[in-house]
């Protein structure tokens, strides 16, 4: 009797272990219908520049045209697919769909890893000084491009005050992703940045701050001095704008 109970316990234990194994996460992603549609349009976009009809997409997944059409309507509302009207000489135009460029951001990217690898390789081969020079050059070049290509910046404003010029230039940085606050302290301007556009990179390689600080300085046309802020903390970076 004792042996029988032990056997039952062992069987129960084995069953529980098998159940745990069955519950382990699968490494094969389970895609929703919308994700399947986007993946299909991404992979096959080079095959047909006229897009894909509801029927063609439905056949590829063995799903009803109603299901595909309903999901395409939702994707179109989210600006993830583009609906094309194809002329049909024999009757009504045919509707086809292609992937929108907004959808590309939904697929896996490795910008952070690749950027860090580039920086690491450059620093290893050329040293810290050359890396700093490169980051400054990036900030200067980007600032020139942002200022020269923005139609709102009037380069001939002779009566523009310093504060007006600051606000105009800082709006460029806001559009670029920065979240800035301009204040006056003891007759000097203080600039707080609450959103670093390279935050994840800076946390691993703080030298990248050089590019951001150079960009801000070149945009506003004044030297800036960092008062406080730490790449590894949640506090904003605070700069004094030198007159």
Q: What is the pLDDT of residue 151?
A: 67
Is the per-residue pLDDT at 101 higher than 80?
yes
Q: What is the pLDDT of residue 105?
A: 86
Is the per-residue pLDDT at 102 higher than 60?
yes
Which residue from 35, 40, 78, 39 is spatially nearest to 56, judged by alpha carbons?
A: 40
Contacts by residues 225-234 (CB-CB < 8 Å, ≥ 24 positions apart): 227/190, 229/193, 231/196, 231/199, 231/202, 231/203, 231/206, 232/203, 232/206
Helices of type H across 62-127: 65-77, 111-126
Which residue from 227, 229, 230 is spatially nearest to 239, judged by alpha carbons?
A: 227
Provide the pLDDT confidence category of residue 99 given band limits of 50, 70 and 90.
Answer: very high
Are 97 and 68 a contacting pair, CB within 8 Å?
no
Is the per-residue pLDDT at 186 higher than 90?
no
Who wins on pLDDT, 26 or 223? Answer: 223
Length reported for the chain: 243
Q: What is the pLDDT of residue 162?
A: 79
Who wins on pLDDT, 121 or 165? Answer: 121
Who wins on pLDDT, 224 or 50? Answer: 224
> In the 8-state DSSP scheme, what is residue 48?
-
Two tokens, residue 36: 């399947």
Who wins on pLDDT, 162 or 203? Answer: 203
Report the number of secondary-structure helices (H) and strands (E) in the chain.
9, 7
- Mean pLDDT, the chain, rounded, equals 83
| Percentage of the chain modeled with pLDDT above 90 | 50
pTM: 0.65
Are 37 and 75 a contacting pair, CB within 8 Å?
yes
Cα–Cα distance, 195 to 197 (Å, whole number):
6
Furthest CA-CA distance within the chain? 102
Range with the lowest mean pLDDT among 33-37, 55-59, 116-120, 158-162? 158-162
Q: What is the pLDDT of residue 157?
A: 57
Q: What is the pLDDT of residue 235?
A: 80
Q: What is the pLDDT of residue 153?
A: 63
Are 90 and 65 a contacting pair, CB within 8 Å?
no
Are 110 and 189 a contacting pair, CB within 8 Å?
no
Who wins on pLDDT, 3 or 47? Answer: 47
Please write the tens of the pLDDT for every residue from 5-45.
334 444 444 445 444 444 444 444 567 899 999 999 999 98
For residues 73-85, average pLDDT: 93
Domains of the chain: residue spans and CATH: 33-106 (1.10.10.10), 111-241 (3.30.1380)
């Amino acid at each position: 009797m004792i042996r029988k109970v032990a056997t039952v316990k062992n069987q129960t234990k084995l069953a529980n272990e098998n159940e745990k194994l069955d519950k382990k996460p699968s490494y094969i992603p389970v895609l929703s219908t919308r994700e399947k549609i986007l993946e299909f349009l991404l992979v096959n976009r080079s095959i047909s520049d006229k897009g894909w009809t509801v029927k063609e997409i439905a056949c590829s997944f063995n799903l009803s045209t109603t299901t595909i059409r309903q999901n395409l309507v939702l994707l179109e509302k989210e600006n993830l697919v583009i609906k094309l009207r194809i002329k049909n000489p024999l009757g009504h135009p045919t509707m086809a769909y292609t992937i929108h460029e907004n959808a590309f951001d939904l697929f896996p990217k490795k910008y952070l890893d690749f950027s860090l690898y580039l920086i690491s390789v450059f620093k290893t081969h050329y040293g810290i000084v050359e890396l700093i020079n490169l980051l400054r050059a990036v900030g200067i070049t980007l600032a020139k491009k942002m200022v020269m290509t923005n139609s709102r910046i009037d380069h001939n404003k002779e009566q523009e005050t310093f504060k007006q010029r600051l606000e105009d230039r800082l709006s460029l940085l806001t559009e670029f992703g920065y979240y800035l606050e301009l204040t006056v302290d003891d007759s000097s301007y203080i600039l707080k940045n609450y959103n670093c556009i390279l935050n994840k990179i800076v946390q691993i390689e703080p030298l990248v701050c050089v590019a951001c600080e150079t960009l801000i300085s070149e945009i506003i046309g004044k030297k800036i001095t960092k008062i406080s802020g730490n790449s590894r903390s949640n506090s904003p970076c605070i700069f004094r704008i030198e007159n």
